[in-house]
Structure 1
């Protein structure tokens, strides 16, 4: 039996600012992100297995991505912790806002790399992360492919 790709899509709202950037994105702003997660594997062939015919239960994939990405990033503001934005982050945090201090500049490119590492760590041994697509807007997105890494 061959490999099959399974994709699940997610949405979340996240704010960020790009410290030192020379355009408008240096200001705190937000996006309605769309994340497509594609895994690859062979469907279960054990006729006694409750998930016969599945590569992964969509609910299991949803649980992983929800816990690792959506619950953390939805309605949060992301800043690079290695910049003066850490002061703004502390102020927001002290006022009850959900803030993420990342080890990276919070671009779509860096976020998708971070997301790939988090998801890969949670997948079973027979399932591999194939690709991620993180849409910042309807016309702008970053993609990560296992074959490129």
Structure 2
């Protein structure tokens, strides 16, 4: 049997804990958030079944780092979701990617760099210490392309 405790005295701000105690450390921390979208595409100059129009349920995983703020947060997960919904997903979800993305072959390798750039651009406008550390773009449950910040800096 699992035991549980009913909280009888909910911790109260300025009584049980002070504002300066909310931030436990000043270290850089990575937070991660993932999303899915459905889209269709086809590949140019490719001999294989992906040259034909087809679709995927893509999964995107972001790793974003920054320093904790005064209450111990790097970034609110809801803020990441808002950037995703407003600035990135609108170009991807239920779209024909060959039309909605910049001119490119819509490979996972090209798309993951575009997604990285869009998220980094949005975060740079928020706070200087935010970094997109990595983005993984799953084209299928077992196949993905990944980009990392150090690779983007190096070229």
TM-score scaled by length of structure 1: 0.79
Which sits farther off after the overlay, 99-108 or 33-42?
99-108
Q: 1:17 & 1:5 partners in 2: Cα distance?
A: 34
1:76 to partner: Cα distance: 0.3
Out of 75, 91, 104, which is 1:72 matched to? 91
* Partner of residue 31, structure 1: 56
Instruction: State the Cα deviation string for residues 67-96 of structure 1 (Å, max 9, x = none).
Output: 2221221000112xxxxxxxxxxxxxxxxx
- The correspondence of residues 46-85 of structure 1 with structure 2, limited to 5 A, is 46=70, 52-79=71-98
- The correspondence of residues 89-104 of structure 1 with structure 2, limited to 5 A, is 99-104=99-104
Q: 1:71 & 1:5 partners in 2: Cα distance?
A: 25
Cα contact 1:133–1:141 (8 A) shared by 2: yes
Higher normalized strand content (fraction of residues): 1
Larger Rg: 2
TM-score scaled by length of structure 2: 0.76
Aligned-residue Cα RMSD (Å) equals 1.1
Gaps of at least 5 residues in structure 2 are 1-25
Out of 136, 139, 143, which is 2:142 matched to? 139
* Partner of residue 19, structure 2: none
Gaps of at least 5 residues in structure 1 are 47-51, 80-98
